Amino acid sequence: MEDKNYIDRLNTLKALAEQKQEEKTRAEATLESLEKRKDEIEAELNEMGVKPEDLEEQIQELRVSIEDGLNKAEELLKPVENEQAV
């Protein structure tokens, strides 16, 4: 009877080990894919003349520029009060 218990426990451990190996293999594949994508993004940034460490600053500058442009457009398109009275 004890032999069956040992066999069951060993089979459970074997199944867990195989599951963990599959998870490790998937994680390694995901990591490889993400590292490849990171390299592609860094290459694209390099083509645009942006260093990865300067990215947050560049994004903030673009946000300010967009906000300024929107404000100017809204100001130019705002109806003049005299025109509304006509």
pLDDT digits (tens, 9 = 90+) for 60-71: 999 999 999 999
Assign 1 a pLDDT band (cuts: 50, 70, 90). Answer: low
Distance in angstroms (rounded) separating the CA atoms of residues 83 and 86: 5
With a CB cutoff of 8 Å and minimum separation 6, the contacts of 58 are 50
pLDDT surpasses 80 at 84: no
pLDDT mean over 28-33: 98
Q: Domain map of the chain by residue range?
A: 1-49, 51-80
Portion of the chain with pLDDT greater than 70, in percent? 92
Distance in angstroms (rounded) separating the CA atoms of residues 50 and 64: 17
Assign 75 a pLDDT band (cuts: 50, 70, 90). Answer: very high
Backbone dihedral region for residue 36 (phi beyond 0: left; psi -120 to 50: alpha; all else: beta): alpha
Give Cα separations from 47 to 10, 52, 73 (angstroms). Answer: 55, 12, 31
